[in-house]
Chain A
């Protein structure tokens, strides 16, 4: 197995609803979607965002788009106009999720990263 960052497997966009941030994670190739489903669980995302997300993480599957949607509750310092954060709307949480590393088999890792 080899470690690979999600940025090599997916793209993403994030936004807000009150104090909840949403991150939509979209597979770059259809064959990557099952890998995301298996590895990028709500529990792993919660762990990844420790120090940022102070509530539950919910995950929804959108197979027709090859995408997963995550709701990160209590993640925006109160959200909206209350929040003092630079990123009060969680707009950059998309790429924050793409920093996550998951394990994939060596062959796939080589295919994606070369070498």
Chain B
């Protein structure tokens, strides 16, 4: 039976630069998928493109292709990445430049899946009755329209599979579901029809399992974490898929990490909502139907997955400007480290008050005491060696946040004693670009698939 090996070498923009190279070089794979887009990445890319019309995509991806193109061509590996950001054309041109420079012209087709960017059409779409209300709060988008920085539809696996069908060796997309990057090669290789809901659900769950990279192969794994071998050389995940919808999650032989039923379960519940309703543009996958089995060392088999018909909607990811924030910290040492940190917090808050500064929020945390688990942390030891005081503020007014950053450093000289940790200088003022999830009818947008050659 035909087996297709699909790897994931990038769980988010900023993940290991070496992982995809290792995946290509240390064992057999047919497809390499890479996820570069976090929820607010698009807004960063919009800003980059506004400054430079040739920017606005994941440049890391072009650097990666420079390194692995010879292997990709020789071993006939197909690469699928949502690296196009808000400028798929520029990303494609950069890739074609690499292909040409390395002498592979005529041998590498680059496919592009675009059409996800609805920023330019936003007002028309709203006029046509698409309220794009926030899925969490129910507010219509009109309320923050003037502050919107980017708006993109999440496409599924279908258009990527179409590009593969047209012979693309590298496929880049704009916004696309993470799981769709993995499902697409299965649709392409096994000719899965658009209403094969169980198969599409299986491929979607395979995609969900590997979309966070090493988080299913022993990374960030709580169970027996100390005994997980060789995290320094952790193997990134590979799906070994068959046409009947059953698949195995594994990693290259000789790499570190661990693939067990337990490590896989941890990833399956990651960012889970209703387990019966994992909704993508391709189908609805039911996580309560998955059967897991340890088939061999570092091999976990999935079977029995059921799915249901896709909905009529695409998810839309909108980003909008939501004020400013700054976060600063100072470290207090024994004795009475926690007491000093609390006293310093009181002093700083009183000074902010005297200055008449109004914030939407001032949040104080004591790292080493309760920053992670809050009131569940219990009473700290009276003899703590050190505590970091971490204070964050948020406001619509940039000057107010800036003023806060000037009040943090002076505490080193004019507040409680044995304090350090200010070498980094003043806290940085950051613009907050917030995420607005919405839905849009599938009939309002259409993916555009194109193929280019160097």
Contact = CB atoms under 8 A, between A and B. Distances in A.
Interface of A: 11-20, 22, 24-26, 28, 48-52, 60-67, 69, 71, 77, 80-82, 84-87, 91-92, 94-96, 99
Nearest to A74: B136
Given A24-B270, A62-B275, A80 B390 contact: no
B432 interface: yes
Contacts of B273: 17, 22, 69, 71
B1 interface: no
26 contacts: A15-B271, A16-B271, A18-B136, A18-B437, A24-B270, A25-B269, A50-B375, A51-B376, A60-B274, A63-B288, A64-B288, A65-B268, A69-B275, A71-B273, A80-B435, A81-B322, A82-B322, A82-B434, A86-B365, A86-B372, A86-B390, A87-B372, A91-B220, A92-B373, A99-B373, A99-B376
Interface string B420-447: 0000000000001111010000000000
B269 A69 contact: yes
A82 B327 CA distance: 12
B437 to A, nearest CB: 7
**Chain B residues touching A, range:** 35 or more
B269 A52 contact: no
Contact of B394 (A15, A63, A84): A84
B371 A87 contact: yes
Contact of B327 (A28, A84, A91): A84
Contacts of A20: 136
Given A80-B40, A81-B434, A82-B322, A52 B265 contact: no
B374 interface: yes
B253 interface: no
Contacts of A69: 269, 272-273, 275
B374 A62 contact: no
B336 interface: no
B408 to A, nearest CB: 14
A51 B374 contact: yes
